[in-house]
Amino acid sequence: MEITRIENDKQKMIMMSLIVSEKFCKEIIPILDIDYQLVSQTFTGFYRTVLDWISEYYKKYKTSPGKDIKQIFETKTSTDKFEANERELIGQFIANLNDKFVREKNFNEDYVLDQARNYLRIANLELLQLRIDEAKANGNIDLAEALINSFKKIEKETSNINLVDVFQDVDRVIEILSEEDEYIFKWPGYLNRFIGGLSRGSFVCVTGPGKRGKSWWLKEIALTALFQGLRVAIFNLEMTEKEYLKRIAQNVCGEVSSKKNKEKLVQVPYFVPGENGIENINYREYKKTGIDTVKVRKKLVELRSMIRAGQLKIFSCPTDSLTVPGLKSELDKQVISGFSPDIIVVDFADILADTEKNEYRHAIDKKWKQLRGLALSSHSIVVTGSHSNSGTFKKNVGQADVSEDYRKVNHVTHMIGLNQTPVEKRAGVMRINVLANRTKYFNVEDYAVVLQNLHIGKCIIDSRAQKGIDLKACLALFQNEDWG
C-alpha cells in the first residue's frame, strides 16, 4: 500500500495559506511536526522545500512569512548547490504570489483550515495503515498493536466550551466586552445602522411577495460584498446563466436592458434637504442606450482593479437539481482551488432539491436548517430569499407572513421585509423593515426608505429612516403617473 499524496492544488492551497496567515501557521505547523514521515509522504516536489522554509520562519518569528517569502527564496537558492530546476519552479510559484497577497490577506481562513485539517487526517490514517501492513507482513503483531495504541489523532485542540466565572474573572469579562464585533459585511448608507453589520455564521433572508425584487436584492448584497473586498459565491437556481449575467451587467454599468442605441429616459431618485430637517425626494433624468458587450467589457476591466481582494463566482444550476450537501461539496472543491467564499448567496433556498423526498413543508424546514449549518461550518454569511404570502401584495410584510413554513424565522439570524405599493414602485421607493435580528434590537414597525430604479439594475441607490422623509408628498406626484 502507498500513501495517497496530496494533489498539487491542495498542496498549493495549504502552502499559500501558510504564507499569508499566522493563524494557519499556528494551527497546521504543529500538526506537521507530529510525524516527519507524514510530511515527506504527503508533500511533493518543491512544495516540500517551501514548507520547510515556512516552518523554519514561523518557529523563529511566530508569524507567517508573508512577503518575506521572496527574500527567503533569494537567500535559500543563492548557492550553486541548489538544483536549478527546483529553483525555477519555486521562482515561478513565488512570482505568481504578487497579486495574491492582498487577495489572500483577509480570506476565510477558518474554512480553509477545516479543509486542510481533513486532508492531513486522511493522510495520517493512511500512514498508520501503511505501517500496520508492513508490521503484519513482517510477522510483528506486537508492533502493529503498539502502532494502533500510540496513534496520534489530528484534531482541533481548542475546546468548544469557553468558561467565564462572571464575578471572579472580572478582567476577562471586561476584555470580552471591549472586543469589537467582527462584522465583515456592511450595508450601504443608513441601512447599516438600521439592520446592523453581518458577521461570519450569519444566515440572512430577504422576503416579500412575488416580483417584489428579491433577486435584485440578493445581487445587490453580492456586489456590495464584492466591493468590500469579500469573496462571493452565488448559486443561481432560478434564471438562465445569460439572464443572471445580464442583470449583473445592468447593475455594474447602470444601464437599461434595451437594445443598443435605443434611447430610453430614466428618472433616478435622490434625497434633498427640506424644511425642519425633513428630506424630500427629487429625480434626475438620464438618457440610457442599453447594455452591450463593449460597455460591459470596459466596465468589468475598470472595476477589476477596484475590487482587489474581492471575487465573484456564479454557479448556475437547474431548479430542483442541487441539494444543500451538493452545494457544500461544490464549495469544498472551490476551497481547494483557492476560492474560500465569505458570502454564499442562494437564489432561492426553497427550490433546492430534497433527495429524501420529504413532505414539502418538512423538506423546506430541513433545507433551511442545513443552510444555517452551512453558514456555521463554512464560517461564511449565507444569504437567500423567500416568498411571503399573497396578502403582502396589499399590506406590509410581517413575521407571520413567511410562505410555506414559519420555522424559517427560527433558523435565520436576520430577516428583512420588502414593502412596496404600486405607487411607491412608480416613484422608485421601497420600504424595508426588519423581521428578525439576533444581534441588534429591532421593531417590525420601523421602516427604512430605500430609493431604487430597477430599469438600470439598482435596488439600493440611497436610504434614510422613514420618519425623516416627507414620503406622502413625494408619492402624491405619482398617483396617476407611470414611473419611467
226-249 per-position pLDDT tens digit? 999 999 999 999 999 999 999 999
Neighbour tally for 322: CB within 10 Å: 19
pLDDT at 11 over 70: yes
Q: In this model, does residue 4 exceed pLDDT 60? A: no
User: What pLDDT does residue 98 have?
Assistant: 62
Chain-centre distance of CA 253, in angstroms? 23
Place 448 in a pLDDT band, splitting at 50, 70 and 90: very high
Across residues 350-355, what is the average pLDDT? 88
Cβ distance 417 to 396 under 8 Å? Answer: yes
Tell the burial category of 349 from Cβ atoms under 10 Å away from its Cβ (0-12, 13-18, 19+). buried
**What is the rounded distance in angstroms from the CA atom of residue 266 to the CA atom of residue 457?**
12
In angstroms, rounded to a whole number, what is the distance separating the alpha carbons of residues 421 and 419? Answer: 7
Task: Report residue 279 as a C-alpha cell.
Answer: 428630506
Q: Assess whether pLDDT exceeds 60 at residue 123.
A: yes
Residue 180 scores a pLDDT above 60: yes
Q: Indicate the pLDDT class of residue 3, thresholds 50, 70 and 90.
A: very low
Q: Inform me whether the pLDDT recorded for 328 exceeds 70.
A: yes
Residue 429 is inside which H or E element, if any?
strand 429-437
Q: What is the DSSP letter of 72?
A: H
Asked if the model's pLDDT at residue 102 lies above 70, the reply is no
For the stretch 387-434, pLDDT in tens is 998 888 889 999 888 877 778 999 999 999 999 999 999 999 999 999
How far apart (Å, rounded) are the C-alpha atoms in residues 110 and 116? 10
Most confident of the ranges 96-110, 114-128, 361-375: 361-375
* pLDDT at res. 484: 34
Question: 301: phi > 0 → left, psi -120 to 50 → alpha, else beta; which?
Answer: alpha
Q: Which residue has 452545494 as its cell numbers? A: 327
Percent above pLDDT 70 for the chain: 93
Query: Between 315 and 357, whose confidence is greater?
Result: 315
341 touches 334 (CB < 8 A): yes
pLDDT band at 482 (very low <50, low <70, confident <90, very high): very low
- φ, ψ (nearest 5 deg) of residue 198: -115, 135
Give the mean pLDDT of 72-84. 85
pLDDT digit string (tens) for 141-174?
989 888 888 888 877 654 456 789 999 999 989 9
Q: How confident is the model at residue 1 (pLDDT cuts 50, 70, 90)?
A: very low
pLDDT of residue 358 exceeding 50, the answer is yes
> Of 220 and 9, which is predicted with more confidence?
220
- Kindly tell me the number of DSSP H helices and DSSP E strands found in the chain: 19, 13
Q: Which helix (H) or strand (E) holds 459?
A: strand 458-465
> Do 141 and 135 form a contact (C-beta atoms < 8 A)?
yes
pLDDT of residue 148: 87
- Give the pLDDT score at 417: 96
- Whether residue 99 has pLDDT greater than 70: no
Output 367 or 104, whichever has higher pLDDT: 367
- pLDDT above 80 for 7: no
Domain boundaries, the chain: 8-149, 183-476
Which is higher by pLDDT, 405 or 45?
45
Q: Indicate if the pLDDT at residue 104 is higher than 70.
A: no
**CATH 3.40.50.300, domain 183-476, yes or no:** yes
Q: What is the pLDDT of residue 449?
A: 97
Asked if the model's pLDDT at residue 322 lies above 90, the reply is yes
Measure the CA angle with vertex 447, ends 444 and 451; round to 5°.
145
Query: What is the mean predicted confidence (pLDDT) over 100-115?
Result: 74
Name the residue with higher pLDDT: 360 or 217.
217
Q: Tell me which H or E stretch contains 87.
A: helix 84-95
Q: Could you give the CA distance from residue 5 to residue 327 in angstroms, rounded to a whole number?
A: 26
| Res. 483: pLDDT tops 70 | no
Q: What is the mean pLDDT of the chain?
A: 88
pLDDT > 50? residue 78: yes
Q: What digits encode the pLDDT tens for the residues 55-65? A: 999 999 999 99
What is the C-alpha to C-alpha distance for residues 47 and 40, in angstroms, rounded to an integer? 10
Helix 45-61 and helix 8-20, axial crossing angle in degrees, nearest 10: 20
Is the pLDDT at 181 greater than 70, yes or no? yes
